[in-house]
Structure 1
């Protein structure tokens, strides 16, 4: 499952405690949050790109 927190506060500590992996999308200076649609697009792109690379034998 991919859990996405609300803009600003993110996920609760209870939800994060259940996760296998935690990731954070870094932002440019002056920005303190991204909307969930933008964040989900970034996360899904990275997830599926990594899966494709593993499928062809590239671990980088």
Structure 2
């Protein structure tokens, strides 16, 4: 998605709400408009999408990695 920030570089505040869209349609226009940041996950090869549960696990792991000492 244009304008998305790689999860490695994204600001993931300790107090935040993470929204995950379903495969295919993604998030609604209303959810995207309410979001401060749209995060992407770098992928290798020709794959253009990732399972929503797998994507959520990756992003939540990154959030925990950053804030587990807090």
Q: CA RMSD in A?
A: 1.5
Q: Which has the higher contact order (CA 8 A, sep 6+)?
A: 2
Question: May I ask how many residue pairs the two structures share in their alignment?
Answer: 54
Per the normalisation by structure 2, the TM-score is 0.64
1:9–1:29 CA distance, 2 compared to 1 (3 A):
farther
More strand by share: 2
Larger Rg: 1 or 2?
A: 1
Number of the residue aligned with 1:40: 56
The gaps in structure 2 that reach 5 residues or longer are: 1-16
The gaps in structure 1 that reach 5 residues or longer are: 56-60
